[in-house]
A and B are shown apart, each in its own frame.
Chain A
Amino acid sequence: MDIQLWPVAASDVAARVDAIVLTLLLITGAIMALVLVLLLTFAIRYRRGSPARRGELPELVKKEVEIGWTAATLFLALFIFAWAAATTLGDARPVGDALEIHVAAKQWMWQTQHPNGAREIDALHLPRGTPARLLMTSQDVIHSFFVPAFRIKQDVLPGRLTELRFTPTQTGEFPLYCTEYCGTLHARMGGTVTVMEPEDYGRWLSAQPQGDDIGHEGAALFVSLGCSGCHAGRGPVRAPGLAGIWGRDVQLADGRVRHVDESYLRDSILQPRRDVVAGYEPQMPSFSGIVGEEELLRLVAYIRSLPGGQP
């Protein structure tokens, strides 16, 4: 059994994290060595009865050195902070054309769904070199999506969407763990992320059972839940049309402006009276408890697939 000391680095995030880790290891290693050397040197040199000089402390060691190391540690801390914060902000910058994967977590499994509707359980296939964007939600307690090889981790919460962005840079199979304690089988809630060359990924994807893509499933729900009655203009009630609203800013009745994204659409379905669009009555009923997490994902996918103009 060969002993591994450094985890595989298989994403763009991993490269950036490892650079900071290495630098910090050098800095903290130097500080640790300094403290140990000082402790040992002083302990040996000034052991009771040794001939080393005692008496008053030299001037240099009195006040100046104290201010010196306070300033030095502060400066060092600020330097590391600035670097880490810059990296954090960089990682958070959105990238265009990311492959969107929907992830639903529940005790004790991971369900993933590709843009074309292909589903996996406790597994996820990704093409190398394509930015991936994971939109995640939980159906029960808090879970956490952790792939050590990618150096990414994000808690997955009930009633809320969280996301992860990264680009896999290496092919292979990488373990996925749940890292937020979630009950009896927490330790067994894992899976495998398989990164493939883009052409292999395409072949793999087309070999999957052809479900409807989630947008189509959402369209069926949109009718069966009765949304289309008002929002598609066929019923007596006046409700805002949904075509082309994705990605735009909408004016709300109370003067605020909200950007139409996943979380806004979720909120509007589950708590419709919270952000009413200007010019409309707050009369939509809440669908909380009626639509599940997976159905929400499909409805949102449908709404964003609507072209501008006619619904």
Chain B
Amino acid sequence: MSDIAAEGPIPGDAQPHQGLRGAPSYLTAEHGLAAWFLTTDHKRIALLYAAALTVFFFIGGAGAVAIRMELFTPQADLLSADGYNRMFTLHGTVMVWFFLVPSIPNTFGNFLLPLMIGARDLAFPRLNLFSWYLFIGAGALLVYALVAGGVDTGWTFYTPFSTAYSQSYVMAAALAVVLVGFSSIATGVNFIATVHMLRAPGMTWFRLPLLVWALYGTSLVIVLATPVLTLVLLLIVAERAFGLPIFDPAYGGDPLLFQHLFWFYSHPAVYIMILPSFGVVSELVTCFSRRQVFGYTFMVYAILWIAVVGFLVWGHHMFVSGQSLYANIVFSFLSFIIAVPSAIKVFNWTFTLYRGQITFDAPMLYALGFIGLFTLGGLTGLFLASVPIDVHVTDTYFVVAHFHFIMVGGAVSAFYGGLHFWWPKITGRMYPDVWARFAAVLMFFGFCFTFFPQFIMGFLGMPRRYQVYPPEFQIWHVLSSSGAVLLACAYLLPMGYLAWSLIWGDRAEEDPWKATGLEWRTSSPPPRDNFRTMPAVDTGPYFYHPDKEGPRHDEPEAHQNQGRET
């Protein structure tokens, strides 16, 4: 690959990449700003998203830093009471809608979905670009709301506080979230159409890699749930701006209606955030244990089960809200039911290791960390699904710890694992392996150190969204804030060595991990049209060893790529 003459330098990259047989890679195919900002190439749009998401990750992260610093002591030290309220609202709003929801789908999904199913691009490339501009517009509006004075409602926008009492920029923030919702929907529709219409010959539904299934399930949830969020936020704007009484009890409105509509979106949104990471982890675990995934069909049905039942459990956020006792019991039942597919996935990943040939490259370390953290996060969900326990721990740090285990320990670990796994494909460079393994281990321990103490203080009764707190909780807050320092290092470190690798990293081969997905049978980075010749598919995914044999000691190459030349 590297013996082919360079076409010319491109900014930020000392040596341009080139695909095999002289076809330039997607990075070098076109030059200039317009070639990036008006591109319809799903791979370039994925990078545009990655850049925007990095910015928002830093903004949301700054909010987290402010929160953890303030909570180091029981008194108010750094921030005013309003300042603190604005910080956790910033952290939640930015991290949920501007990082976690789009994180894996809009970066890896955009980049990999067409590659993994053997397509040249997404079904609607211009819609894809449009969704990025919507995202940027929404982000700009949100940044305006934050800079102009901030929002103090919490990311949940509960009425009547948000409609009648908050003195902050609620409407700008709500409209920003409405806009980013449309961006999500555009991506979801695009993915659904792509998976339905553009699969390579022979790529049947039950030959799809699990990441594709996970993105497909996620897209269904996005398309069906997000409109409800749009609706409920527009109702907030209507009530706040025009006095239309919908949630205000003084005019016969119902503040609980808001919570029902909000959680009807926001619980499925939890699955929007975690389902894609299930897909990523399935790719990593199979590759680095050199085994076919354990129970492929069960894994697929578990994704679909979660996507469907995820719509029916929103009431478990409202056990103490004043909804009826019988509603509580029904929602509790459904919440226990949805624990089952998650358990299936954990056991299947674990048994994929059985009789494998396991290596502990950085992506595998992230994946193993994910399984541990997700299991603990999921098991604490059983406490929250039990009504009597939830009554005690809801709106305390127990809940904060629980959802951070799922969304940060889970989704963000998987994001970093995927980033390392596909980095050679995306950039054509290898990262320094030792640093990467160190960062993965640091992330696991930093995370546990930060969030495990929060389970204990939550159970002891420490309420969430408190700037000042009784001194008996300080020890746990100090532990948590100290852990957050480690965690911050673990997040920043990869940004450093990955950037380093862009210039000094070794050139990546076409298939450095000896993996089986179609994305690995094209050059690293891939050409503009993804494949030299469009692939056809004869086998299922994860063909790391023949059915009747296990992986061998001496032949890591025994795997077979899913595709073949046509």
Interface residues, chain A, with chain B CB atoms under 8 Å away: 1, 3-7, 13, 16-17, 20-21, 24, 28, 31-32, 35-36, 38-39, 42-43, 46-49, 52-57, 61, 65-66, 69-70, 73-74, 77-78, 80-81, 83-85, 87-89, 91-92, 107, 140-142, 144, 146, 148-149, 151-155, 157-160, 162, 175, 177-188, 271, 288-289
B328, B388, B395, B475: the one contacting A144 at CB < 8 Å is B395
* Given A77-B382, A81-B336, A146-B463, A46-B389 contact (CB < 8 Å): no
User: Once bound together, how far apart are the Cα atoms of A6 and B455, in whole Å?
Assistant: 11
Residues of B within 8 A of A157 (CB): 249, 255-256, 321-322
- B242: interface (CB < 8 Å): no
Q: Which residues from chain B contact A85 at a C-beta distance below 8 Å? A: 329, 332-333, 387
In the complex, what residues of A have CB within 8 A of residue B357's CB?
46-49, 54
A78 to B464, CA, bound (A): 30
- Once the chains bind, are B353 and A188 in contact (CB under 8 Å)? no
C-alpha gap A17/B565 in the complex (Å): 62
**Is B355 a contact of A271 with CB atoms below 8 Å?**
no
Q: B371 contacts which chain A residues (CB < 8 A)? A: 35, 39
B332 touches A84 (CB 8 A): yes
Given A32-B376, A73-B340, A81-B386, A144 and B354 touching (CB < 8 A)?
A: no
**Nearest Cβ in chain A — how far from B123, in angstroms?**
34
Interface string of B411-443 (1 = CB under 8 A from A): 000000000000000000000000000000000
Take A32-B375, A43-B358, A148-B460 as given contacts and tell me if A180 and B158 are in contact as well, using a CB distance cutoff of 8 Å.
yes
In contact, B552 and A179 (Cβ under 8 angstroms): no
Docked pose: A233 CA to B106 CA in angstroms: 71
B165 in contact with A146 (CB, 8 Å): no
Q: Is the CB of B356 within 8 A of A42?
A: yes
B475 close to A140 (CB less than 8 A): no
Contacts of A92 in B (CB 8 A): 325
Nearest B residue (CB) for A154: B320
Q: What is the CB-to-nearest-CB distance from A55 to chain B, in angstroms, rounded to a whole number?
A: 4
Nearest residue in B to A108 (C-beta to C-beta)?
B81
Contact with A along B254-272 (1 / 0, CB 8 A): 0110000000000000000
Tell which of A6, A49, A141, A175 has the most Cβ of chain B within 10 Å. A141
Interface 0/1 of B238-256, CB less than 8 Å to A = 0000000000011010011
Name B455-498 residues within 8 Å CB distance of A.
Answer: 456, 459-461, 463-470, 472, 475
Report if B337 contacts A (CB, 8 A). yes
Find out whether the CB atom of A151 lies under 8 angstroms from the CB atom of B347: no
Given contacts A49-B357, A142-B161, contact A288 B387 (CB under 8 A): no
Report which residue of A83, A142, A149 has the largest number of chain B beta carbons within 10 angstroms of its beta carbon.
Answer: A142
Q: Once bound together, how far apart are the Cα atoms of A43 and B270, in whole Å?
A: 30
Which residues in B have their C-beta under 8 angstroms from that of A1?
472, 475
Q: Are the CB atoms of B379 and A140 closer together than 8 Å? A: no
**20 extra interface residue pairs, beta carbon distance < 8 Å, beyond A92-B325, A153-B391:** A42-B356, A42-B358, A46-B289, A47-B358, A49-B357, A54-B550, A54-B553, A55-B355, A56-B550, A61-B351, A66-B344, A69-B344, A107-B165, A141-B161, A142-B160, A158-B160, A159-B255, A179-B396, A181-B154, A271-B252
- Chain B positions 306-338 with a Cβ under 8 Å from a chain A Cβ: 320-322, 325, 328-329, 332-333, 336-337
Which residues of chain B have C-beta atoms less than 8 A from A162's C-beta? Answer: 322
| B392 touching A80, Cβ below 8 Å | no
B321 adjacent to A70 (CB under 8 Å): no
Given A42-B353, A55-B355, A142-B158: A17 in contact with B388 (beta carbons within 8 A): yes
Closest to B551 in A: A54
Q: How far is the CA of A159 from the CA of B456 in the complex (A)?
A: 35
Q: A61-B354, A84-B332, A151-B391 are in contact. Are A73 and B339 (CB under 8 A)?
A: yes
Question: A70-B340, A87-B388 in contact; A187/B395 too (CB < 8 A)?
Answer: no
Instruction: Count residues of B near A (Cβ-Cβ below 8 Å).
Output: 90
Assembly CA distance A68 to B525 (angstroms): 43
Q: List 19 A-B contacts (CB under 8 A).
A: A17-B389, A20-B388, A24-B383, A38-B351, A39-B372, A42-B353, A49-B357, A54-B550, A61-B351, A66-B298, A77-B336, A84-B387, A140-B160, A140-B165, A148-B460, A157-B322, A159-B255, A183-B152, A184-B82
Cα(A274)–Cα(B385), bound, Å: 36
Chain A residues, CB < 8 A from B389: 17, 20-21, 24, 84
Chain A residues whose C-beta falls within 8 Å of the C-beta of B153 in the assembled complex: 181
Q: How far is the CA of A110 from the CA of B340 in the complex (A)?
A: 42
| Chain B 339-371 per-residue mask, 1 if CB under 8 angstroms from chain A, else 0 | 110011011101101111111100000001001
Residues of B within 8 Å of A182, CB to CB, are 161
Residues of A within 8 A of B298 (CB): 66, 70
CA gap between A65 and B350 in the complex, in Å: 13
| Cβ contact of B329, chosen from A4, A89, A187, A289, cutoff 8 A | A89
Given that A152-B391, A157-B322 are contacting pairs, would A39 and B249 also be in contact in the complex, using a CB cutoff of 8 Å?
no
Complex: A185 Cα to B391 Cα, angstroms: 23
Q: Are the CB atoms of A187 and B467 closer together than 8 Å?
A: yes
How distant is the Cα of A85 from the Cα of B316 in the complex, in angstroms? 13
Min Cβ gap A54→B in Å is: 3
